[in-house]
Amino acid sequence: AQSVTQPDIHITVSEGASLELRCNYSYGATPYLFWYVQSPGQGLQLLLKYFSGDTLVQGIKGFEAEFKRSQSSFNLRKPSVHWSDAAEYFCAVGLLSGGYQKVTFGIGTKLQVIP
Amino acid sequence: GAVVSQHPSWVICKSGTSVKIECRSLDFQATTMFWYRQFPKQSLMLMATSNEGSKATYEQGVEKDKFLINHASLTLSTLTVTSAHPEDSSFYICSARDRAKEYQETQYFGPGTRLLVL
């Protein structure tokens, strides 16, 4: 079964600093990979996704993620964090099963941005 | 585009009552919708997959008689928590796949429904 590990439960960064959120997955083949953001009181919003092709994926809000097969990783990055980026971030992997995709989420990383 | 709504956004009920949560795709049709449950400080756990016009597929450990799912139209799926108990208190989130863009394998999430059972 696929699994997703987000080793950092909570991260604090200064506004303007760079950010990297880690994500490792366990799956026999290359899965579909996603990053979602959840702001308080709101639903999950898709930041970016990787299915195939270029391993560096650009997303919304200035985020990017790089798929590294050798490390089974899909880390999320942003060069300069804004206060509005404070939220919880979920890495997810998708596995096609029965004609649709079943998504498994990581435990999430809560990002705090300080002035 | 690709907006999913949930109603109600929060609900408080007495133990033993049943609660229905609606999930609607507002600007697209969804043959497949998903129901998740999120406990505090934990990730989303898939409960079941709802397919329009057919029975839902439940994940292991999820009681189908406890959590009734109906996907009667291409824009609406409902989750009914029957005879709710305090341990059912949680944050329930639905998602939907755009029928016209299923190849994109993207799920659009609703804002969630917070259920508190007293």
Is residue A99 pLDDT above 70, yes or no?
no
Nearest C-alpha neighbor of B98 from the set A94, A100, A98, A78:
A100
Residue A23 has pLDDT above 70, yes or no: yes
B34 touches chain A (CB under 8 A): yes
Mutation pick from A30, A44, A47, A102 vs chain B, by most beta carbons of B within 10 Å, is A44
Task: Inform me whether the pLDDT recorded for A101 exceeds 80.
Answer: no
Contact yes or no for B82/B21 (Cβ under 8 A): no
- Is B32 within 8 Å of A100 when comparing Cβ atoms? yes
pLDDT in tens, B69-83: 998 889 999 999 999
Name the more confident of A87 and A1.
A87
* Token representation of residue A15: 């506004």
Q: Please give the backbone phi and psi of residue A71, each rounded to the nearest 5 degrees, phi first.
A: -105, 0
Contacts of A105 in chain B (CB under 8 A): 43-45
Per-residue pLDDT at B31 exceeds 80 = yes
How remote is the C-alpha of A39 from its chain's centroid?
14
pLDDT digits (tens, 9 = 90+) for A38-53: 987 777 889 999 988 8
Average pLDDT over residues B94-115: 84
Q: Using the beta-carbon criterion (under 8 Å), do B46 and A102 form an inter-chain contact? A: yes
Count the neighbouring beta carbons within 10 Å of the beta carbon of residue A99. 8
Percent of chain B with pLDDT over 70: 96
DSSP B101: G
